[in-house]
Structure 1
Amino acid sequence: MTGGNEVTANSNEYPVAVDDRQFLVRCINDVERGRAASFLSKEPETVRWLKAEMVPATVFWDVGANVGLFSLYAAILQPTAQILAFEPAAHNYASLCDNIVINGFTNIVPFSVALGQGNLAFDELYLSKVEAGSSIHHVGAKSPWAESEPVFRQPCVKVSIDSMVLDHGFPTPTLLKIDVDGLELGILDGARTVLNQVKSVLVELDANDPSEISAATNLLEQAGFRLTETSRREKTINRKLPRNHIWMNAALHPLD
């Protein structure tokens, strides 16, 4: 499938339909099936944001791609856009690659890389689970979002967005989604140089942590961004309240 065409799912492939478009998600467990089934209802603001902001020239960086649902949706919205999907957890990365293959997409490039601060380095990814579709993993230590101890420490490489672009020649993102369960501030800090070229940022933050909200607000406002939407999620995770915050670059995306 190259975007917008009808597809026929095998028994372990779940079709996700959005408006007149459809993509497939390979589901090998209940976690992946749950993600596919709740795609439209869990984060409707992210679906709306992508639908509004994806244009043919977009370079979309999906940081914390998991099994790739938002990258897949972006690909059917704009088959000529560049989509970079970052997912360091090996079990999720494998499913991400599978989903790209079964849909026949050629404009999504997956990277098993953790983004953060500084130049390319080696670290450990603390995994909360090893089932495909799982989340709440953390680089360098147990996630503050995790309710139980990690089950595995997976070696990984990490690097900043600035280093990816300036040192390694990656295309600068024009649309940036960051959802990594606790490492968002470090990733934003590692993108200070290229942020002025980003049109819009969607970042998940803990609404129960005023210091995190303040730090993200200060960093993004200094880069010329203005907050335009905050999701209304009420379900907490280990006393954390994850809500998506959507920011627009006033210089590149004039506000009314």
Structure 2
Amino acid sequence: MPFYREELSMPIPRLTTQDLKVWLTRFPRIYARARLPYATARFLMRRPHDIDYAAFGLFPQSDGLFLDIGANAGMSSMSLRIYQRQARILAIEPNPYHEPDLKWTQRVVRRMDYAIWAAGDVDGEADFYIPVYRGVPITAEASLNREFVQESPSLRNQLGARMHSPDFKIDHRRIAVRRMDDLHLTPAFVKIDVQGHEQAVLEGMATTLDRCSAPVLVEAPSAETAAFMASFGYRPYSYDHEGNRLVPLNGQPVTNVMFTRTVPSAG
């Protein structure tokens, strides 16, 4: 009996979301089928996939265009819809793997269109790199830059030494690339999450940014990107969750940066 009591009293390891995702890669079909119901349930409960998207709710309600560049499976479009109920959405995603996901998201959030190509600074084609573990594409870490995939801190955090195992590989495919300026859009909001390719995206939409003054949420922007945005009069802010406001970015490490010319009042 003492043996069993000791065993039962041992702490049970706590699984993180990333641990669960890695574990589910043992069952590719279950993994693929679980993503959309999970994302949809969060949307219906008005829970964004990333709390920083609440920053879009600080701006006046608009029926203008939300440009979702690097849409992945559509989680950011769902999160935007929580805070901007009337906005039209155009999701740009280079990975054709996500087209079924985007079709579903389109049905859920409504007033949404999508396109399967990459935004960039020149029209043409490019190689697109997708990390794959146990046959499951880890699409959130896919990039036009192979080195970015190989050195991704978040991917290494998820997989660790597994990245050096036979279960891991980096696939690639040719995809179309287009300049956003060529679409002559006037977005009210922009989000860019393109895994190290943000500078090329912004250079390909410089005229659009100069014309529309839309707030732009960028994941992990480089110093080059910050300087580029500053040249157009955009200043960097981070979202203060507790105060529900944008605060000036003064060198503190953050994942998402909101570049804007005008700062809305706290809601």
TM-score, scaled relative to structure 2: 0.65
Question: CA 1:38–1:56 in structure 2 vs 1: closer, same or farther (change >3 Å)?
Answer: closer
Report what 1:248 is aligned to.
260
- Correspondent of 2:199 among 167, 177, 185: 185
Letter of the aligned partner of 2:233 in structure 1?
G
TM superposition outliers: structure 1 runs of 4+ over 6 Å: none
The reply to whether residue 161 of structure 1 matches residue 180 of structure 2 is yes
CA deviation map 1:195-227 (0-9, x unaligned): 121320100116xxxxx2x21221111101111
**In structure 1, C-alpha distance between the alignment counterparts of 2:255 and 2:179, rounded to whole Å:** 23
- 8 Å CA contact 1:67–1:132 kept in 2: the answer is no
Opposite residue 219 of structure 1, the aligned amino acid is: F
Match of 1:224 among 230, 233, 237: 233
Calculate the aligned-residue CA RMSD, in Å.
3.2
Q: CA deviation at 1:245?
A: 0.3
Q: 1:36 to 1:182 in 2, by over 3 A?
A: farther
In structure 2, give the amino acid aligned to 1:217.
Answer: A
Q: Is the 8 A contact 2:128 2:142 kept in 1?
A: yes
CA distance in 1, matches of 2:90, 2:190: 10
Query: Contact between 1:175 and 1:201, CA under 8 Å: does it hold in 2?
Result: yes
CA contact (8 A) 1:35 1:133 kept: no
Q: Is the 8 A contact 1:72 1:100 kept in 2?
A: no
Deviation at 1:68, TM superposition (A): 0.8
Structure with bigger strand share is 1
Structure 2 residue runs of 5 or longer lacking an equivalent are 1-30, 157-162, 242-252
3-state SS, counterpart of residue 88 of structure 1: coil
- In structure 1, the residue matched to 2:21 is none
What count of residue pairs does the alignment treat as equivalent? 205
User: Structure 1: which 5+ runs fail to align?
Assistant: 1-26, 166-170, 207-211, 233-240
- The answer on 1:116 being equivalent to 2:130 is no
Q: Tell me the distance in 2 between the aligned counterparts of 1:254 and 1:69.
A: 24
The within-5 A match list for 1:77-88 is 77-78=83-84, 80-88=86-94
Pairing partner for 2:146 from 133, 137, 141: 141
In structure 2, C-alpha distance between the alignment counterparts of 1:126 and 1:54, rounded to whole Å:
38
Matched letter for residue 229 of structure 2: L
CA drift at 1:109? 0.4
Pick aligned residue for 2:189 from 175, 187, 197: 175
Q: 1:225, 1:156 → 2: CA distance?
A: 31
Q: Percent identity?
A: 20
Distance in 2 (CA, whole Å) between partners of 1:56 and 1:175 is 9
Structure 1 letter corresponding to 2:65: V
Structure 1 or 2: larger helix share? 2
Q: 2:129 is matched with which residue: 126, 139, 145? A: 126
Looking at structure 2, the residues matched to 54 and 113 of structure 1 have their Cα atoms a distance apart, in angstroms, of 30
Larger radius of gyration: 2
Aligned partner letter, 2:90: L
Q: 1:84 and 1:244, CA in 2 relative to 1: closer, same or farther beyond 3 A?
A: same
| Contact 2:129/2:145, CA 8 A, preserved across alignment | yes
Q: Which amino acid aligns with 2:143?
A: H
